Amino acid sequence: MKIATYNINGINARLEQLVAWLKDTRPDVVCLQELKVPELRFPAITLEKAGYGAVWQCDKAYNGVAILARGGEPHLIRRRLPGEPADTQSRYIEAAVKGVVVASLYLPNGNPRPGPAFDYKQRWFARLLKHARDLLKADVPVVLAGDYNVVPSDDVRDIYSPKSWAKDALVQPEPRASYRRLLEQGWTDTLATVGPKTPSYTFWTYWRERYERDAGLRIDHILTSPQLKPRLKKAGVDREVRAHAHGSDHAPVWLTLKK
């Protein structure tokens, strides 16, 4: 079983690429973020023709998350992260797929910092920590996949140059501490655990040929609950997808499970 996550940065701007990538790599489950599409323009029919059922949660222009399942329909569990009813941004969707609870999440970016955007990021992270704990209590296999907008460390495996990002919300101690607390709850950072030993960047800005220079960051993560530990096989990044002339600024991340 193969599970992937991909911040697509506008699903209709990349639809051909998305379909080609699905055909090439045949993931069983796909978590998408930054759909940037109103609900009624979500390309459900195109995805259906490509062999994928979907559930999605959209805003008018920004955010937006989806879960795709090959040869079936994801069973929707929730469309919102609990804890802040006034928060209407579409950043979380959760579904049962092929015996696993899967969440596609898009953590707030948090820039500019300091300010309300950064505060919102921290509140959102606190809500995620609480919900993640509840999911662990349910004692079922769970995958939390998405764009966490957090570079876990200053290690070269996570970021090409900590110095040039030092003031950015993606590398601050507070979100890093929240991410670490998630791992301390018992979740596994699968790319760090069963991924390549070489840098596994997942995001390169569009600026100044950052991709060509491999000036990247690791901010897209697939976390798994303890039940899945014995089934973890291999993780990686489809980095060549980022090389497309009109590609997203992220690359897909994937995980394979035994069975």
Partner DNA sequence: ATGTCGGCAAAATGCCGA
By CB atoms closer than 10 A (0-12, 13-18, 19+), residue 244 is: middle
Binding mask 72-111 for DNA (x = CB under 7 A): ------------------------------------xx-x
Binding mask 184-213 for DNA (x = CB under 7 A): ---------------------xxxx-----
Which residue type does 201 have? Y
The one segment of 3-11, 77-85, 129-137, 191-199 that binds DNA by CB under 7 A: 3-11
Considering only CA atoms, which of 68, 72, 83 is closest in space to residue 125? 83
* Residue with Cβ nearer DNA (12 or 153): 12
Q: Does 227 bind DNA (CB under 7 A)?
A: no
**How far apart (Å, rounded) are the C-alpha atoms in residues 75 and 231?**
22
By CB atoms closer than 10 A (0-12, 13-18, 19+), residue 197 is: exposed
Which of 123-137 are b and which e, b meaning 16 or more Cβ less than 10 Å from the residue's Cβ? ebbebbeebbeebbe
How many CB atoms are closer than 10 A to CB 206? 11
Residue 132 has phi, psi (to 5 degrees) of -60, -40
**How far apart (Å, rounded) are the C-alpha atoms in residues 149 and 219?**
5
* Residue with Cβ nearer DNA (139 or 214): 214
E strands, 98-157, where? 100-106, 142-147
| Minimum separation from the CB atom of position 12 to DNA (A) | 5
Check: CB of residue 43 under 8 Å from CB of residue 54: no
The one segment of 32-40, 66-74, 80-88, 94-102 that binds DNA by CB under 7 A: 32-40
The one segment of 21-29, 34-42, 75-83, 190-198 that binds DNA by CB under 7 A: 34-42
Q: Does 114 bind DNA (CB under 7 A)?
A: no
Binder of DNA out of 77, 117, 136, 194 (CB under 7 A): 117
Q: Does 61 bind DNA (CB under 7 A)?
A: yes
Q: Does 25 bind DNA (CB under 7 A)?
A: no
| Minimum separation from the CB atom of position 253 to DNA (A) | 16
* Residue with Cβ nearer DNA (9 or 104): 9
Interface positions with DNA (CB under 7 A): 9-13, 34, 36-38, 60-63, 108-109, 111, 117, 164, 205-208, 246
